[in-house]
Amino acid sequence: MELRRHKEERDHRFEKHQLELERLREERIASEEQRQTHKDDEEKARKESLPGQLRYFDRMVEHLLPKTDDNPAEYPAHFESVEDIFRTTVFQKTSRQN
């Protein structure tokens, strides 16, 4: 009789512990989903904002464009090469409606 009661108590504690673990797991999953949604919303807003688009564009072209020489006599050649790069590279045009 005592052994049976002890087994039932142990089983009850085990089930209670399992339910608590399941609840914690569900909370963690919900928290992770909320965090990911927030992160996605921030990323979308950043990509859609003008400063975000400018930063993205800057990162894309920083390795394409040649470095500017310190010699002012080289400026015309530098800007001609930049213009050639922009003529030969296709950039997606974005339109902003106010």
How sure is the predictor about 98, in pLDDT bands with cuts at 50, 70 and 90? very low
Classify residue 70: in a domain, yes or no: no
Classify residue 60: in a domain, yes or no: no
**Buried b / exposed e across 32-49, counting CB within 10 Å, b at 16+?**
eeeeeeeeeeeeeeeeee
Classify residue 23: in a domain, yes or no: yes
When divided into structural domains, the chain yields a total of 1
Classify residue 27: in a domain, yes or no: yes
The boundaries of the domain holding residue 23 are 2-48
Classify residue 15: in a domain, yes or no: yes
User: Given this model, what pLDDT does residue 95 score?
Assistant: 47
Classify residue 9: in a domain, yes or no: yes
Quick one: tokens of 32?
Answer: 């992770």
Classify residue 76: in a domain, yes or no: no
Classify residue 74: in a domain, yes or no: no
Helix, strand, coil abundance in the chain, percent, nearest 5 = 80, 0, 20
Q: Spell out the alpha helix ranges (H) of 49-98.
A: 50-61, 75-88
What is the pTM assigned to this prediction?
0.46
Compute the residue count for the chain.
98
Give residue-wise pLDDT tens across range 4-15: 888 999 999 999
Between CA 39 and CA 66 the distance in angstroms is 35
Give residue-wise pLDDT tens across range 5-61: 889 999 999 999 999 999 999 999 999 999 999 999 888 888 888 888 888 888 887
